[in-house]
Amino acid sequence: MNLQTYFKIIIASILMCLYCGKGFAQNASLNINTDPKITHLLELKKDLEKENKLSDGYTIQLYYGELDKANQMLRKYRGSYGNWPASIEYETPNYKVWAGNFASRIEAERALIEIQKNFSSAFILKPERRK
């Protein structure tokens, strides 16, 4: 048998294997069963993060005092800034208005420069993580 015939047989064998291999392909499906509570818990976590409840970073305090004034400050802030979430936090006997949930001090400082244009007494705060 010459070399050319040998290569033709090898090529024919490879093509036959490839052609026959298609007939043996398998179809697979994957079913994932998840507990619906997982989706609910993820949404709850997302909401808590927006409200600075799980923060391990920095926030900006806009106000500290009475509830009526805190509500006014929160409305004023929300009317001016949509970039960072804000909330009212209670610490006996006063209310605080906190804005933003920043992972680093530098992020908080950049936001503070912008926020102090309308809230001159604002300052950066690193709240303790809530349990």
Strand partners, 27: none
pLDDT digits (tens, 9 = 90+) for 30-43: 888 888 888 888 88
Mean pLDDT of 52-68: 84
- 7 token code pair: 């290569």
Residues in Cβ contact with 66 at an 8 Å cutoff, skipping those fewer than 6 apart: 94, 95
**Per-residue pLDDT at 87:** 93
Residue-wise pLDDT for 84-117, tens only, equals 999 999 999 999 999 998 989 999 999 999 999 9
Q: Where are the domains of the chain?
A: 55-125
Stretch (H or E) spanning 48: helix 36-50
Task: Decide yes or no: CATH 2.30.130.10 for domain 55-125.
Answer: no
**Cβ distance 108 to 59 under 8 Å?**
yes
